[in-house]
Chain A
C-alpha cells in the first residue's frame, strides 16, 4: 500500500515540474502523419502542409487568392501565352547557405515533369513542355498551349528543391526527405524525430519579412480526438477540425474558432455511362429532391455554404453570384422524372415503363462522420420521391481503387479539393482524366477549354459564368455543399491570412503570438 502512495507522490512531483502556459515564441501544429519533406513528392496531407513552410515556390496565393510572386520578383508572358519568363529573386540562399539559382528551378520542374521520379504533380504541369535557363536568375517555361491556371499552380504545391542536395533519384534521398530537408522558407528544420515531431527554427537569412516566431513545431498526432485534447491542454496552438469535433471548444476562453471558405465542393456523383443517369432531366430531378439546407444545418452545423454549381464560393471572382440557388422541391423533381419516363408505381416506388424500380448503390467512405451522415440524409430524401439508394460504406482507398478508378461505381459521395483556380476541365471535360462521373456536355467542354486557355480575366470570368449556367440545366454532379474550413486556434495567435490552412502556411513568416 505504501508503495502506491510513494508512486502517487512521485507522479505529483513530476507534475509539479510542468511549466504553465505555452512559450509564446513557439507555434505548435499537428500533422496526421510523418511527412516526406520534399515538395515535388508530397504524397500525403502531412507532407503537403509542412512543405508549404519549408519550400516556397515561384508564386504564392495572396490574401485575395490571386497568385503573387514569391521566389520570383516578376514574370513576363509571351503574346501567344506559351512562354513564361520568370525573374528570380537575387540573394536568396538555401538553408545550408548555398545560393538559390535558376538551376534549382529547372531541377525541380524536370523532376515534376517525370512521373517516374515519384512526384504527384505531373498532371498539374503536364502542359509544360520544357524549362530552360536563360541566365542564373532568369527561367523560361515553355508551354504546349496557353494555360491560365499556371501561375496559381506554381504557388500551389510546386515548392522548389535544391539541385545541389541530390545525387540520385529524389525519392531515394531518405536523409533529406525524412530528416534534413533544405529549402528557402522562413523556417528551417533543425530536429526531426520519426513518429513524434519536427522542429523548425526561424531562418535568419530568409529573403522576405523576418519570421516573427522563433520556432514552429509540427507534432505528429494522427487521431483527431487526441488533437482536440492536446489543443485543450495547451499543447497545440492551431488545429483544423470537422464541425462534429467542435463540442465544448467554443466555451474555452483560450481558444478562437475561425471559419474560412476553401476551394472544395462536396457532391454525389452519378456514373453517367449508365443509362439510369444519362438524362439531364433525371440528374436535375435528383438535385431538386435533396434538402441541402437540412444537411448544412444538421450535419455541417452551419459550417458550409449553400451550393450552386461546381465552382465554390471561395473562388470569389468566378463564382456565379446571380444564378438562382438550387431549390428543394420534390414536386418539381417528380415532374421532371415523369418527363424522363419515371412514374410512381405501387408503394410509391418510382418505376420506368417496363416496371423496373429506380434503384442504385451509393458509395461513401468509412470513418468520416459528416460524410456518412450526409449520405444517410441524401438516401432519405431520395426515398421520399420513390428512389432507392443503397448505401455501401468502405475505406476511401477501396472506394477509389476498387470502384471509381475501374468505373465500377453507380453513385458515390465524394469531394474535390482544388487549387485556387476555377479550371475544372480535367474534372468535367468529356473524357478527361479526373472526370470520374463520365459527364459529357459539348457546350461545357468548349467553355471549360476557353476558361483554361484564356489569360484575359474578364473573358475568363465570362466563360466560367456561362459554364455554371450550363451546369444548372445539365448538372454534372449533385452538389451538396461547399464546406468551410474550421480553424481552432489559441486566442493569442495572430497573423493568419483568411485562407485554408494549406494556403495560409505559405505565409508562415507572418504568424505571431500577441502578448496576453
Chain B
C-alpha cells in the first residue's frame, strides 16, 4: 500500500508539471498580450514601465524558471488583471463554482438515477421513447441559448427567479442564495442528466440481461432485491467513472453558464484570465484545477475499490 501511495504521488507531481509547462507554452504562444498593454494610447515610456512591472520584459525561459522558483516558496504570483495574489483570487472563486456544479450534479443524479433505471429495465417502452426525445433535445440545445431564453422567460417575463448573480447585493439569507442558484443549476443539470440517463439506461439494460441476473431471480429473490444487489451494484463502477469525468468541470467551472448568469465562478475567471492574457492567473488556475483533478481521481480509485472488491485486491 505504501509503495502504491508513493507511486501515485510521484505520478501526480509529474502530471502537474506537464500541465503547468504546457499551459505556460500555450498562453505565451497565443497572439496579443496582457490586456493592460492593449491600450493604443499608451506611450513607449508607459509600455516599458508596465512590462518591467509585470516581469514580461524578461526572456521566456527566465520567466518560466522564475515561476517555478516562486512556486517553491508557495508564491503563485500576482494577477495582471486583478493585481491581487492569484492563489487567493482563485480560492475565493472556487467555492462559488463548487456550489453551482455540485448542486447541478446532485440535481441531475436525482433526475437521472430513477429515470435511467426505469427506462433501462423497460427499453423500447413508452417512457423510454419520451425520455429519449427529451434527452436528445436537451443535449442538442446550446447552453448559451438555453440560459438566455430561461432568463428572459423566468426572470424577465414572469419575474419568478433572479436573472443573474449569486445573491441580491446586501442580502445574505439562504432563500435569496437558493433563488439565485435555481436557474443556472437547472440549465447546467439538464444536459448532464440527459447524459447520465443515456448512460444508466445502457448499463442497466446490459446488466439486466447478464448471465448472473436471471439465476438470481430463479433463486427466488424478489425483483427489488435482484435490482439492488445484482443490477444496481454492477452499474455503480461505470457510474463512478462517468461522474469522475465531470470532476474537471466541478473545479474548472462551466464558463458559458457562469457568463450568462453572471456567476462569479472559476469558469468565468478562466475565460477572463485567458482573454486578458493574465499569465500568472492562468497558471494558477491550471495548477489548482489540475491538482484537484489529480487528487479527486486518486480518491475515485479508492472508491472503485469500495464499489468492487475485485479492484481492491489488484491494488
Contacts and interface: CB of A to CB of B under 8 A. Distances in A.
Interface string B256-279: 000111101100110010011100
B152 interface: yes
B179 interface: yes
Contact of B35 (A44, A191, A194, A229): A44
Contacts of B165: 196-197, 219, 221, 230, 235
Contacts of B163: 226, 229-230, 232-233, 235
Nearest to B84: A174
Contact of B162 (A120, A123, A195, A235): A235
Interface stretch (A9-17, A76-84, A328-336, A454-462): A9-17
Contacts, number: 196
A20 interface: yes
Q: Interface majority SS on B: helix, strand, loop or mixed?
A: helix
Contacts of A199: 169-170
A404 interface: yes
Contacts of B219: none
B159 interface: yes
A226 B33 contact: no
B98 to A, nearest CB: 14
B39 interface: yes
Interface in A1-29: 1, 3-4, 7, 11-12, 14-15, 17-18, 20, 28
B53 A222 contact: no
Given A229-B148, A397-B32, A123 B179 contact: no
B39 A18 contact: no
Nearest to B82: A34
Given A226-B259, A226-B262, A233 B38 contact: no
B151 A233 contact: yes
Contacts of A18: 159-162, 179
Contacts of B277: 397
Given A195-B92, A226-B262, A395 B169 contact: no
B25 to A, nearest CB: 18
B310 to A, nearest CB: 33
B314 interface: no
A4 B176 CA distance: 21
A357 interface: no
B175 A14 contact: yes
Given A122-B43, A230-B163, A219 B169 contact: yes
B167 A225 contact: no
A196 B269 CA distance: 12
A194 B176 contact: no
A90 interface: no
A474 B161 CA distance: 58
Given A222-B268, A401-B33, A433-B44, A233 B159 contact: yes
B262 A221 contact: yes
A305 interface: no
B83 A171 contact: yes
B31 A395 contact: yes
Interface in A289-322: none
A33 interface: yes
Interface in B141-166: 148, 151-152, 155-156, 159-166
Given A222-B268, A234-B159, A397-B33, A4 B41 contact: no
Contacts of B50: 118
B46 to A, nearest CB: 5
Contact of B53 (A118, A174, A433): A118
Contacts of B162: 18, 233, 235
B178 interface: yes
Given A14-B179, A115-B46, A195-B268, A229 B152 contact: yes
A144 interface: no
Given A120-B42, A220-B262, 14 more contacts: A4-B110, A17-B176, A28-B169, A33-B272, A41-B83, A115-B48, A123-B46, A219-B169, A223-B260, A225-B148, A226-B163, A229-B156, A397-B277, A405-B47
Closest 8 CB pairs of A and B: A195-B264, A398-B32, A397-B32, A233-B163, A397-B38, A232-B156, A115-B49, A233-B155
30 contacts: A7-B107, A11-B161, A14-B178, A15-B161, A116-B49, A116-B52, A120-B42, A171-B53, A194-B93, A195-B96, A196-B165, A215-B170, A217-B170, A219-B165, A219-B169, A221-B165, A221-B262, A222-B262, A229-B151, A229-B155, A230-B164, A230-B165, A395-B275, A396-B38, A397-B37, A397-B276, A398-B33, A401-B37, A402-B32, A433-B43
